[in-house]
Structure 1
Amino acid sequence: MNFEAVTRKEAVLRQLRHEIQTGELLPGAQMIEVELAARLGVSVTPVREAVAELISEGLVQGEPNKRKRVTVLKQRDAVELTDCQGILLVAALRRTAAHVTAENLRDLAGLLGAFAARLRSGDQDGARKSFEQFAEACLKIAKQQELAAQLRVMMNRSIYRLGMYPLQELTETWAVGAEQTARILQDSGVKAAADRLEDLFGAVVAALYAERPLDAPVPLPSSALPQAHLAPLGAAAGEGLEDRE
């Protein structure tokens, strides 16, 4: 990844987000900014800014005593984030009906197809990007500013936190539902596709409810790496990074 064009804060943010989502920074681990800065080879300022962004994304929790810890994702969090994301995304898709064109329908179907293909190939970052692009495309077509604002906040809070969830068991559910929604978009239009998308989110939420008790912590993804893999920013991600604090 090329970090020449990003600030140190953005590079630190990406690195810490990656470490949280892969389990290199374990759930509940304390985020001591001075120590993180020393390990990553940067000043405290970009680390402090990055941690503030991670708090807004829900990946880090700020405690009353001003300590900051990696969020422990509970099953209830996964259920509620998925449910709320579905409610808003389905609403956005429904509201494209008044403005959508045949070209729009092809584009939306293509993004869902890419999401499914990337999920099946194990490219979760690529799948996440396709999913975000689908949401943004719906918002652009729907032309509803308040809905756009609410969905973007929800996507920002959910997309990274749900990235901590081990998705292997639900991959095929997501992929099949996305592919079916894509076909319906082109064959039958927005209303039927929105109904199928709503059913997909309902099926995922039901599976999450049944998987484990709501207050149980979500186990780390199988791709989680041991703490020994933690590395300075220059070695892990920021090679050649310009000093752009």
Structure 2
Amino acid sequence: MTYAVPPTRTAAVVRQLRNEIISGELPPGTLVKDAELAARLGVSITPVREAIAQLSVEGLIDIAPNRTRHVTKVTQKNALELIDVMSVLACAGFEWGVENLTSTHIDLMRQRQKEFVEGLRAGNTLAAGAAGADFSTIVILASGNRELQSMVDLVVARTLRILAMGAESELWTTWIRGHDAILELLDCGDRRGAVERYRQIYVEYRAQVESHLFDVG
């Protein structure tokens, strides 16, 4: 999978910090300090502050009234709420876009699915998560509704973070099996069936998060 080089220092800092939060390198509750981050990343304070503001919008960093910043903590309640929101947005985009898919789109989805599986086998959850997200993005963008994709983008990082928390669980398997089934249905021309199978992924995913992911702690 190829990744675009961020066009600005702020974008580079956003990507770096987002990846560190999703992977758990910056654990929930970690105090975020501008100067320390700027020194570690070799940039000035300005792009760090701009990046923190962006990640706050994405829900990955909490900014308290006294202006202290912490990596957002994940609870079962907000995880389930996030899944419900993501389900509404992504399933709508998938339904709107599926009828516009061409053979080229489906080939790209198959490639992203391959990268998804390979990333997991290599233990690279960041690459796997990005490829898995792209699988859905291809369909959502086929709908032609870029406003919807922008809304999905705001919550996708938090969704990937939940998946990373369950790296050793069956959460990933739910998506792999679901994607494989969707590709088979699309190959057979059953686009309505593909939409229903996509919805089912979220039903199974939510149930697993509710039942297992927060058992410890």
Matched, 1:192 2:193: yes
List alignment gaps of at least 5 residues for structure 2. none
CA contact (8 A) 1:20 1:26 kept: yes
Q: Which residue does the alignment assign to 1:33?
A: 34
Q: Which residue does the alignment assign to 1:167?
A: 167
Q: Which residue does the alignment assign to 1:68?
A: 69
Write the distance in 2 (CA, Å) between the matches of 1:103 and 1:41.
41
CA contact (8 A) 1:120 1:171 kept: no
Shift of 1:58: 1.4
Write the distance in 1 (CA, Å) between the matches of 2:39 and 2:78.
32
Matched ranges for 1:64-143 at <5 A: 64-143=65-144
Amino acid at match of 2:21: I
Shift of 1:97: 4.1
Q: Secondary structure at the match of 1:105?
A: helix
Write the distance in 1 (CA, Å) between the matches of 2:9 and 2:87.
34
Amino acid at match of 2:75: K
List alignment gaps of at least 5 residues for structure 1. 220-245
CA contact (8 A) 1:109 1:185 kept: no
Q: Which residue does the alignment assign to 2:9?
A: 8
Write the distance in 2 (CA, Å) between the matches of 1:7 and 1:125.
21
Q: Which residue does the alignment assign to 1:51?
A: 52
Relative distance call for 1:153 and 1:4 in structure 2 (3 A) is closer
Shift of 1:5: 6.7
Q: Secondary structure at the match of 2:32?
A: coil
Shift of 1:29: 1.9
Q: Deviations over 1:42-73 (max 9, x none)?
A: 32112111111221221110111111111111
Q: Which residue does the alignment assign to 2:20?
A: 19
Q: Secondary structure at the match of 1:95?
A: helix
CA contact (8 A) 1:21 1:164 kept: yes
Amino acid at match of 1:140: L
Which structure would you say has the larger RCO, counting Cα contacts within 8 Å and 6 or more residues apart?
A: 1
Q: Secondary structure at the match of 2:31?
A: coil
Percent of aligned pairs with the same amino acid: 30
Greater Cα radius of gyration, structure 1 or 2: 1
Relative distance call for 1:123 and 1:41 in structure 2 (3 A) is closer
Write the distance in 2 (CA, Å) between the matches of 1:72 and 1:196.
31
Aligned pairs, how many? 215
CA contact (8 A) 2:23 2:126 kept: no
Amino acid at match of 1:184: L
Q: Deviations over 1:5-35 (max 9, x none)?
A: 7533233333333333343333212212123
Q: Secondary structure at the match of 2:97?
A: coil
Shift of 1:160: 4.9
CA contact (8 A) 2:23 2:161 kept: no
Amino acid at match of 1:132: A
Write the distance in 2 (CA, Å) between the matches of 1:139 and 1:41.
36
Amino acid at match of 1:23: G
Amino acid at match of 1:186: D
TM score, norm. by length of structure 1: 0.73
